[in-house]
Amino acid sequence: LAEENDREEQVVGSHTLFALGHLVMTPGAAALDVDFAPYLARHAAGDWGVLDAFDCRQNDTAVRSGDRLLSAYDVPVGKEETERIWIITEADRSATTILLPHEY
Protein backbone atom coordinates (compact mmCIF):
# COMPACT_ATOMS: atom_id res chain seq x y z
CA LEU A 1 0.00 0.00 0.00
CA ALA A 2 2.80 2.44 0.82
CA GLU A 3 4.40 1.68 -2.54
CA GLU A 4 1.09 2.41 -4.27
CA ASN A 5 0.75 5.74 -2.43
CA ASP A 6 4.33 6.68 -3.35
CA ARG A 7 3.52 6.00 -7.00
CA GLU A 8 0.42 8.18 -6.79
CA GLU A 9 2.49 11.06 -5.41
CA GLN A 10 5.02 10.67 -8.24
CA VAL A 11 2.25 10.65 -10.82
CA VAL A 12 0.29 13.55 -9.47
CA GLY A 13 2.98 15.93 -8.27
CA SER A 14 2.03 19.09 -6.43
CA HIS A 15 -0.55 20.73 -8.73
CA THR A 16 -3.72 18.73 -8.26
CA LEU A 17 -7.37 19.63 -7.93
CA PHE A 18 -8.47 16.32 -6.41
CA ALA A 19 -7.19 12.97 -5.15
CA LEU A 20 -6.96 10.10 -7.63
CA GLY A 21 -7.46 7.37 -5.03
CA HIS A 22 -6.61 3.79 -5.99
CA LEU A 23 -5.29 3.55 -9.57
CA VAL A 24 -6.88 0.88 -11.77
CA MET A 25 -6.20 -0.05 -15.40
CA THR A 26 -8.33 -2.23 -17.67
CA PRO A 27 -6.73 -4.99 -19.77
CA GLY A 28 -7.17 -2.98 -22.96
CA ALA A 29 -5.40 0.04 -21.53
CA ALA A 30 -2.60 -2.11 -20.11
CA ALA A 31 -2.09 -3.71 -23.53
CA LEU A 32 -1.20 -0.31 -25.01
CA ASP A 33 2.15 -0.31 -23.17
CA VAL A 34 1.96 3.47 -22.65
CA ASP A 35 3.33 5.55 -19.77
CA PHE A 36 0.08 6.90 -18.35
CA ALA A 37 1.71 9.11 -15.68
CA PRO A 38 1.57 12.32 -17.78
CA TYR A 39 -2.11 11.75 -18.55
CA LEU A 40 -2.94 11.08 -14.90
CA ALA A 41 -1.12 14.29 -13.94
CA ARG A 42 -3.06 16.25 -16.57
CA HIS A 43 -6.34 14.72 -15.37
CA ALA A 44 -5.62 15.57 -11.72
CA ALA A 45 -4.64 19.13 -12.70
CA GLY A 46 -7.93 19.73 -14.53
CA ASP A 47 -6.68 19.33 -18.11
CA TRP A 48 -9.55 17.26 -19.47
CA GLY A 49 -7.86 16.40 -22.77
CA VAL A 50 -9.96 16.21 -25.93
CA LEU A 51 -13.36 16.76 -24.32
CA ASP A 52 -15.63 19.41 -25.81
CA ALA A 53 -16.32 22.68 -23.99
CA PHE A 54 -19.58 21.43 -22.45
CA ASP A 55 -17.95 18.34 -20.94
CA CYS A 56 -15.01 20.41 -19.67
CA ARG A 57 -17.44 22.71 -17.86
CA GLN A 58 -19.22 19.66 -16.42
CA ASN A 59 -15.89 18.43 -15.04
CA ASP A 60 -15.01 21.85 -13.64
CA THR A 61 -18.32 21.81 -11.77
CA ALA A 62 -17.78 18.19 -10.68
CA VAL A 63 -14.45 19.09 -9.07
CA ARG A 64 -16.31 21.49 -6.78
CA SER A 65 -19.45 19.38 -6.24
CA GLY A 66 -17.70 16.05 -5.73
CA ASP A 67 -19.15 14.28 -8.77
CA ARG A 68 -17.44 11.81 -11.09
CA LEU A 69 -14.74 13.13 -13.45
CA LEU A 70 -13.94 12.00 -16.99
CA SER A 71 -10.99 12.96 -19.19
CA ALA A 72 -10.16 11.73 -22.69
CA TYR A 73 -6.75 11.70 -24.34
CA ASP A 74 -5.41 10.47 -27.66
CA VAL A 75 -2.19 8.64 -26.80
CA PRO A 76 0.46 7.65 -29.34
CA VAL A 77 0.65 3.89 -29.86
CA GLY A 78 2.72 3.78 -33.03
CA LYS A 79 4.58 6.02 -35.42
CA GLU A 80 1.39 7.54 -36.81
CA GLU A 81 -1.33 5.95 -34.71
CA THR A 82 -3.16 7.06 -31.60
CA GLU A 83 -5.63 5.35 -29.32
CA ARG A 84 -8.19 7.22 -27.25
CA ILE A 85 -8.17 6.51 -23.53
CA TRP A 86 -10.58 7.62 -20.87
CA ILE A 87 -9.57 8.39 -17.31
CA ILE A 88 -12.44 8.30 -14.82
CA THR A 89 -12.21 9.32 -11.17
CA GLU A 90 -15.09 8.20 -8.98
CA ALA A 91 -17.23 10.78 -7.20
CA ASP A 92 -15.91 9.77 -3.79
CA ARG A 93 -12.31 10.03 -5.15
CA SER A 94 -11.65 6.45 -4.01
CA ALA A 95 -10.42 5.25 -7.41
CA THR A 96 -9.31 6.38 -10.83
CA THR A 97 -9.58 4.03 -13.79
CA ILE A 98 -7.74 4.17 -17.11
CA LEU A 99 -9.70 2.43 -19.85
CA LEU A 100 -10.50 2.33 -23.54
CA PRO A 101 -13.94 3.74 -24.42
CA HIS A 102 -15.25 0.36 -25.64
CA GLU A 103 -14.41 -1.13 -22.22
CA TYR A 104 -16.83 1.19 -20.41
Model pTM?
0.85
Average pLDDT, the chain: 90
**Which letter does DSSP use for residue 17 in this model?**
S
Q: Rounded to 5 degrees, what are φ and ψ at 13?
A: 75, -155
pLDDT confidence bin for 60, thresholds 50/70/90: very high
Give me the domain span that covers residue 49: 2-103
What confidence tens digit (pLDDT) does each residue in 21-31 have?
Answer: 999 999 999 99
Per-residue pLDDT at 53 exceeds 80: yes
Q: Side chain identity at 45, as an amino acid letter?
A: A
How would residue 65 be classed by pLDDT, with cut points 50, 70 and 90?
A: very high
Inform me whether the pLDDT recorded for 14 exceeds 70: no
Q: What is the domain count for the chain?
A: 1
